[in-house]
Amino acid sequence: MTSSLSALETDTTSPAVRLAREVEAHVRGSESLTSGDLFTLAARAYGGTLAQGVFTPRDAYDAAELGLHLHLLSTVGCLPPEASGVRDTLAEVERLSALLPSQTRRTAEQNDFQQFSTPAAYAGLCAWVSGVGKNDRVIEPSAGTGALCTFALASGATVHANELSGRRADLLAVLLAEAGQDPSQTLTRENADHLDAILPPSVRADMVLMNPPFSQTAGRLGRRRVPTVGTGHVLQALRRLDAGGRLVAVLSAGARRGKPTHRAFFEAVDANPFRLRADVEIGGAVYRPYGTSVRTRLLVVDRAPEDSPRRDSARVEAVVGTVGEAVDVLASAR
């Protein structure tokens, strides 16, 4: 590590935020961090070591993610509309993300609540295909440490973020405040299983960007896996999407049309007033730095304007290995 630790010594905010700010400084300087570096910084921020149980690997990883997101918030701006431009931008995001250590250590909480954040370049892809821009209203139902929120905020959108984990919601509050939003008004801490019933009626969306748990119920059914959890979250979020809006969701690749378990869901997202515009499976290498190699499915669902006759347009369907390849196949659906 080459950066000074003075920020940790003088900052009076929470340990997690002090750590995030230090990581932000490393990213800004294009300085890579090993796991050992990160845990050393965390020990200074928290006043004790990982071995002493003062913090967990998840505490350190989440703070590091926030540090990356804070840097991107201040630098990425509104993503270029054309595929060639956004491909270059997201390649730079991947370069910056690679400065952080791979998340090789899991905690029980991470496994039980499926806390696998959206990789930053993947989040940028989702924001780009949504077309989000200045003054749009965005909802992120399971916002984690704010990867999807970051690109929406950077584009000038207003974001309502929801996150059940108190630790992660505290980090989100920092991100929202950094973007000039009031977290007391734009952050909720609820279980997105029942998002539509919980959010204030005034919270509506032009865009929904989401990466829900794939099969866990946030403790409601213990450790039992339920394959329709992620799709259930999508259906909840669609109730908050206004006419003319678009939802972009990252789901497990196992949520596919041919499975009887998911048949009703796919029928719902392609029946009036909705249009399923894209269904793209993305290879597991995208998630490897975040401690898993899960294959995912990116879905794009539009809600037709009021009184609009149904005009079926070609649906984008593909299997790709990288974010860059996904840009190419999704360009026609943007």
Rounded Cα gap, residues 7 and 2, in angstroms: 13
Looking at the chain, the whole-number percentage of residues with pLDDT higher than 70 is 88
Nearest Cα to 146, choosing from 165, 128, 129? Answer: 165
Q: Other C-beta atoms within 10 Å of 29: how many? A: 12
- Give the pLDDT score at 290: 86
> What is the C-alpha separation between 212 and 114, in angstroms, rounded?
9
**Region of residue 115 (phi > 0: left; psi between -120 and 50: alpha; otherwise: beta):** beta
pLDDT tens-digit readout, 50-81? 999 999 999 999 999 999 999 999 999 999 99
Q: What is each CA distance from 227 to 38, 232, 306, in whole angstroms?
A: 35, 9, 32
One-letter identity of residue 70 = L
Instruction: Specify whether the CB–CB gap between 71 and 28 falls below 8 A.
Output: yes
Query: Which ranges of the chain have pLDDT less than 70?
Result: 1-12, 106-115, 215-226, 309-312
Per-residue confidence (pLDDT) for residue 37, from 0 to 100? 97
How far CA 260 is from CA of 228, 229, 301, in Å, comes to 11, 15, 20
β-strand pairing of 205-210 with 137-140: parallel
Closest CA to 20 of 67, 84, 52, 89: 67
